[in-house]
Each structure stands twice: as structure tokens, then as C-alpha cells.
């Protein structure tokens, strides 16, 4: 994650462009349908809110995006011993954005994303669909574990 964020910083430096926001999205995430637009997310709390859904999706206005680097620095600092910071990914990400950067940090359960497990019979597959609040659990399971995503209508 740090290398991705560093590439954002490098691109800004080289191009003279500054992004309005930075988003972190897990590569094993499945979007149930389109999310809020970047503009809609930036307008929340007048640009003072970092929106996230668990550790699947984090959208940070640029002035708070250094939280990604702070997270990495905390993580890399524990490589010589046990992790003593947070017990869940959600808590680990929350720390830099709230405590270090003083942003509002909102767990938006309406962001339409879930993790796709290896198959729908895996014990945590259903649990993933239960965490989100945009579609019913059965509809979520059908969307995520369908063999043909294009034919799904949402």
C-alpha cells in the first residue's frame, strides 16, 4: 500500500498536479453496483471526512491522505516484534486518520462493496454480504458468486 501511495506522491511531484483525493480499494473486492462519485464523497462534511467501509474501501480527501503513509510507518515499525497497535484492520486505519490527522472518519456501510471469497460455501462468504447494507444478503451472494457478472441486474 505504501508503494502505491508513494507513486501518487511521485506523480504529483513530477507532473505538478495535486489530486483531490486518494482511494484505497482491496483487489479482491466486488462492487455490487456503482459507488458514490468522488465529488459526492468530497462534499461530505465539507471535505473533512474520510469515508471507508471496513478495510475494503477508503476514500481520503488529499489533505488527509498522508494517513496511508502513517499507517505504513506504524506497521513497518513493528516488524522486529509483535504488532501492538490495533487488533483489526479497521482500527489500524482509523488511527492515522482520526488521531494523527484529525479527520472525521465514517464507516459507511452503504458503500456497495464486498470481498469475494474462493467460493460461496466458504464460511466467511455469507458474513461478507451481511456486513454491507445496500442489497439483501441473498442478492449479494448471487451477484458476488455468479459465474457471469455481466448478466446481473442491480
Q: Name the phi and psi angles at 113, rounded to 5.
A: -140, 145
pLDDT at 101: 82
Sign, CA torsion 77/80/83/85: negative
pLDDT higher than threshold 60 for residue 14: yes
Q: What integer is the mean pLDDT of 73-81?
A: 64
pLDDT at 7: 93
The residue with greater pLDDT, 10 or 93, is 10
pLDDT at 83: 54
Under 8 Å between Cβ of 33 and 149: no
How, if at all, do strands 49-53 and 113-115 pair? unpaired
pLDDT at 151: 46
Quote the DSSP letter at residue 81.
Answer: S
pLDDT higher than threshold 60 for residue 37: yes
Cell of 135: 442489497
Under 8 Å between Cβ of 43 and 32: no
pLDDT higher than threshold 80 for residue 81: no
Amino acid at each position: 500500500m505504501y508503494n502505491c501511495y508513494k507513486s501518487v506522491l511521485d506523480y504529483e511531484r513530477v507532473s505538478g498536479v495535486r489530486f483531490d483525493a486518494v482511494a484505497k480499494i482491496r483487489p479482491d473486492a466486488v462492487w455490487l453496483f456503482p459507488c458514490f462519485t468522488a465529488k459526492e464523497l468530497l462534499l461530505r462534511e465539507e471535505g473533512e471526512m474520510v469515508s471507508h467501509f471496513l478495510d475494503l474501501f477508503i476514500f481520503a480527501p488529499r489533505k488527509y491522505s498522508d494517513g496511508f503513509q502513517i499507517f505504513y510507518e506504524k506497521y513497518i515499525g513493528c516488524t522486529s516484534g509483535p504488532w501492538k497497535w490495533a487488533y483489526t484492520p479497521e482500527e489500524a486505519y482509523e488511527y492515522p486518520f482520526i488521531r494523527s490527522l484529525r479527520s472525521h472518519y465514517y464507516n459507511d456501510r452503504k458503500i456497495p462493496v464486498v470481498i469475494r471469497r474462493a467460493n460461496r460455501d466458504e464460511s466467511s462468504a455469507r458474513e461478507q454480504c451481511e456486513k454491507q447494507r445496500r442489497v439483501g444478503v441473498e442478492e449479494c451472494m448471487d451477484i458476488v458468486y455468479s459465474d457471469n457478472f455481466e448478466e446481473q441486474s442491480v
